[in-house]
Amino acid sequence: MSEFEIIATAAFGLESVVSFELKKLGFENLKVENGSVTFSGKVEDIVKTNLWLRCSDRILIKMGEFKALDFEELFQGTMAIPWENIIPVNGKMHITGKSVKSKLFSVSDCQAIVKKAIVESMKRKYKQDWFDEDGAVYKIEISLHNDTALLTLDTSGSGLHKRGYRLHQGDAPLKETLAAAMINLSRWSPDRPFADPLCGSGTIAIEAAMIAKNMAPGLNRKFVSEMWPQIPESLWSLYREEALEQMVHRDVEIYASDYDKKVFNFARENARLAGVSDSILFEKKSLSGFSNKRKFGCIITNPPYGERMDSDNSLVNLYREMGEVFNRLDSWSYFIITSFKDFEKQFGKKANKNRKLYNGKIKSYFYMYMGPLPQRKKSPVIDES
């Protein structure tokens, strides 16, 4: 297969952000749907997107899509796909599945049917009845929705949020992909001060530093498709070398602070592992102690929600204090993600805009307070249409 239909999956609400990233990487004719962006690409594009997409969850190959009202239709539709062109004779086939609003609701039965059909298609090429499956892993998902079967092949392995630097985390970590998306939505650029005064394990500040350095988010991790014979090791090496060459070294002001000594130490260690500790100034201080005399700065933070506080009163007091501290920074922009419904009331100011996002399974809102921007050439913005 020289050309693939590739799916970059995205958390709900972040599809436009992932689409914007793909356009910056040079991809065109993007199809944006709920939870995904689909595009055409070659083998090298699988490598490029795994290494460079900051906000996508996974990179999948779309193998086939068809109606499946019964097991026979599922079997025949699956067997018609040329699996033998991509899975080698010793490939380990790992089948996962899900079913929503479909007549075929037994996921385990669907997985078994799909596995059987793939083995039958493999027999066409290899002329044998048994496959040892002791080679590279090929993770295949059967997804049924409204009686339509979608079969995909995962090229990422571990989710793309697993950059490889966060060995230490607090009680309610923010996914790296969501942190990067929040930064992209904020209009921040590395020539402006950046701060997270409730930094926890440091994810937001670290992602900002990686953006400032133009560091490929997948540079220091491995992907399941690196073991596939279809993608030469030399191609992965080439793109990693190019990514290293594209890194930039610039003076940047990124501040991260927290009052909790334990998570604060986690943040510093995570930054060291990410290779960005030279770009972040860490300070152990309370929220009330945060201040900055620079102009046109940007705050992005993930404060405690109700799930992480001892009482609603503690949460209300925190958000009121946050409003007092942030509103003293009259030229700054600030962006807060929280699931707390009365956030704006307690913060003391209505956001210019809020955007529904999911922090894991928690429905949250990203409150966007747009301050003035320093004068410079107009930069592209994310198309949210």
- Give the CATH number of the domain where residue 257 resides: 3.40.50.150
So what's the pLDDT on residue 31? Answer: 97
Residue 9 shares a structural domain with residue 147: yes
Residue 131 shares a structural domain with residue 184: no
Instruction: Say if 122 falls within a structural domain.
Output: yes
Question: Are residues 365 and 354 in contact, defined by beta-carbon separation less than 8 angstroms?
Answer: yes
Instruction: Say if 238 falls within a structural domain.
Output: no
Q: How is residue 193 written in tokens?
A: 């001060």
Residue 28 DSSP code:
-
Question: Are residues 371 and 296 in contact, defined by beta-carbon separation less than 8 angstroms?
Answer: yes
Instruction: Say if 168 falls within a structural domain.
Output: no
Residue 14 shares a structural domain with residue 132: yes
Question: Distance between CA atoms of 368 and 380, rounded to whole angstroms?
Answer: 18
So what's the pLDDT on residue 360? Answer: 86
Instruction: Say if 384 falls within a structural domain.
Output: no
So what's the pLDDT on residue 383? Answer: 63
So what's the pLDDT on residue 381? Answer: 59
Instruction: Say if 72 falls within a structural domain.
Output: yes
So what's the pLDDT on residue 59? Answer: 98
Domain that holds residue 275: 176-213+248-369
Q: Tell me the HSE value of 245 on the side-chain side, using a 13 A CA sphere.
A: 6
Q: Helices 176-185 & 203-212, crossing angle to 10 degrees?
A: 60
| pLDDT above 90: residue 382 | no
So what's the pLDDT on residue 264? Answer: 82
In the chain, how long is the greatest CA-to-CA distance?
73
Q: What are phi and psi of 191, to 5 degrees?
A: -85, 0
Give the burial string for 15-47 (b: 16+ CB within 10 Å, else e): bbbbbbbbbeeebeebebeeebbbbebebebbb
Q: How is residue 319 written in tokens?
A: 């958000």
Question: Are residues 194 and 250 in contact, defined by beta-carbon separation less than 8 angstroms?
Answer: no
Encode pLDDT of 193-235 as tens digits.
999 999 999 999 999 999 999 999 999 999 999 999 999 999 9
Encode pLDDT of 229-250 as tens digits.
999 999 999 999 999 999 999 9
Question: Are residues 138 and 89 in contact, defined by beta-carbon separation less than 8 angstroms?
Answer: no
Residue 143 shares a structural domain with residue 255: no
Name the CA dihedral angle for 349, 353, 358, 362, rounded to a multiple of 10 degrees.
Answer: 30
User: How many CB atoms sit inside 10 A of residue 214's CB?
Assistant: 14
| pLDDT above 90: residue 307 | no
Residue 66 shares a structural domain with residue 195: no
Mean pLDDT of 317-329: 96
| pLDDT above 70: residue 385 | no
Residue 262 pLDDT level (bands cut at 50, 70, 90): confident
Name the CA dihedral angle for 321, 327, 333, 336, rounded to a multiple of 10 degrees.
Answer: 20
Question: Are residues 36 and 14 in contact, defined by beta-carbon separation less than 8 angstroms?
Answer: no
Residue 185 pLDDT level (bands cut at 50, 70, 90): very high
Residue 134 shares a structural domain with residue 263: no
Which strands form 59-67's sheet, in the order they lie side by side? Answer: 31-33, 36-41, 4-9, 59-67, 148-154, 137-145, 92-100
Name the CA dihedral angle for 124, 127, 129, 132, rounded to a multiple of 10 degrees.
Answer: -100
Residue 370 pLDDT level (bands cut at 50, 70, 90): very high
Helix, strand, coil shares of the chain, percent, nearest 5, are 35, 25, 45
Instruction: Say if 223 falls within a structural domain.
Output: no
Instruction: Say if 228 falls within a structural domain.
Output: no
Residue 142 shares a structural domain with residue 287: no
Residue 266 shares a structural domain with residue 348: yes
Residue 311 pLDDT level (bands cut at 50, 70, 90): low
Residue 96 shares a structural domain with residue 202: no
Question: Distance between CA atoms of 208 and 150, rounded to whole angstroms?
Answer: 35
Residue 98 shares a structural domain with residue 194: no
Residue 146 shares a structural domain with residue 183: no
More confident: 190 or 264: 190
Question: Distance between CA atoms of 184 and 298, rounded to whole angstroms?
Answer: 12
Instruction: Say if 170 falls within a structural domain.
Output: no
What total number of domains does the chain contain?
A: 2
CATH number of the domain encompassing residue 56: 3.30.2130.30
Residue 118 shares a structural domain with residue 188: no
